[in-house]
Amino acid sequence: MASISPARRAFAHAPWSPAAWRDTTFVASGVPLQFAGWAVLCAVWPFWAPVNVTPIMLVLVGSCVVTLLVLRPLTRWQRERCWAMLGLHIPSMPGFDEGRGWEVLRRLRSPEVWRVLRYHLVVGPLLALGGLATITAWAGGVILAFSHAYAWTLPASSAMSVTDKAGTIRVSLLTIAGVLLLIAAPWIAAGVRSLDARAAVALLGPDRAAELERRVEDLAEKRASVVDAADLERRRIERDLHDGAQQRLVSLALNLGLARETLTGVPDEAMRVIVEAHEESKEALTELRNLIRGLHPAVLEDRGLDAALSGITARVPLEVRLRVEVEPRASSTVEAVAYFVVSEALTNVVKHARATAVDVTALRRGDRLLLTVADDGVGGADFSTGTGLTGLARRVRSVDGTFRIISPAGGPTTVTVELPCAL
């Protein structure tokens, strides 16, 4: 972004510039609102100042209650002032603006109430002093800048007469001081306006840290919903394929097998077509079963992670030592992530590790599910080698889990995954 030259910045803050009048109007309009908190708090004391302790306490408590009751309208007017004059939108605060006006009395321990009080009783009055300084600079500048013209209308006997040299010098100095005040007034107004806007956003709007925390929680909930929806969709597709396409392929394979075994007197070319179709149907059925198992194995939903991992390890052409302790069961989404992590890790071991044995453990410890896949292979696994580790880590992070891999050159390789079970 290009910086503004000093000349253009000075011209933008000239006494006749729109910005100068906007800033001055803004800070001047804030003076009565920023003093209003103390005005309400101390309104009764000039008219009735009790001398006994009990009346003093009653008046003090009453003044504090009235001050708390006017916090909402004062805050709303301040926000509307910022929007109307600066185009600055200050959102409402969930812990302050909700409910009826008197409910603020029940929220004295709320940090939002104390932030608003800090603005109206501490920061606001200080900014109001800055607004008064701005008004004084403008008024004093105008009066002093025209003092020379005013001096010409005075008789020669007046102290401000310009008939002699000393009077002329004195009036000229006053005029110069007035011009300097007029030059300084827009800068004072701009400074007070900037401080007022920042204070209003920080104290009359939602807390940035709390807002970011709420956004993070909201995003985490939305991400969990998306992950659950994706898992539900995979299970739906698995059921549709299992109950629809797979059953049709089974029926087709049975009919072709029956035709292959029972038909006689069929030409050799026709029989060869039947045999090829039968073999293709069996291969297609095998591929479809593998696809269904990869989407969401039915055994995982029906019998849990123990049975599903047992089925994976039984198909691995290596010695696999499996230990599973996952009671009580985690959510279906977490179980699906755990299943696919172990499946992909074992696939990587078979393809790349040149291992002879693998240890697989799945243990639930409190609200965490700990997965470990350790092999005695050659090691050297790296995220950049395209072995599926990046996909594994991404799948684990989708449920706020952690993924670690230790794979020095020469082995062994250990993959450790922690998944939250509170989803």
What does the domain layout of the chain look like in residue ranges? 6-206, 211-295, 300-420
Q: Burial code of 165-175, b = ≥16 C-beta within 10 A, e = fewer? A: eebeebbeebb
Q: What is the pLDDT of residues 352-369, one digit of tens each?
A: 888 888 999 999 888 889
**Distance from C-alpha of 107 to C-alpha of 91, rounded to nearest angstrom:** 19
Average pLDDT over the chain reads 77
Tokens for 178?
A: 């007035």
Superfamily of domain 300-420: Histidine kinase-like ATPase, C-terminal domain (3.30.565.10)
**Distance from C-alpha of 79 to C-alpha of 92, rounded to nearest angstrom:** 9
Structure confidence at residue 229 (pLDDT): 63
pLDDT of residue 46 exceeding 80, the answer is: no
User: Which residues make Cβ contacts (< 8 Å) with residue 121, sequence separation at least 6?
Assistant: 37, 38, 41
Least Cα distance to 281 among 330, 247, 323, 313 occurs for 247
Q: What is the pLDDT of residues 291-339, one digit of tens each?
A: 666 656 667 777 888 888 888 888 888 888 999 888 888 887 788 888 8
Tokens for 142?
A: 């105008």
Q: What is the pLDDT of residues 227-247, one digit of tens each?
A: 666 666 666 666 666 666 767
Write phi, then psi, for 42 (nearest 5 degrees): -110, 10
Write phi, then psi, for 135 (nearest 5 degrees): -60, -40
- From the CB of residue 127, how many other CB atoms can be counted at a distance below 10 Å? 22
Using an 8 Å Cβ cutoff, are 130 and 191 in contact? yes
Residue the block writes with tokens 């059921």:
239
pTM over cut 0.85: no
- From the CB of residue 137, how many other CB atoms can be counted at a distance below 10 Å? 21
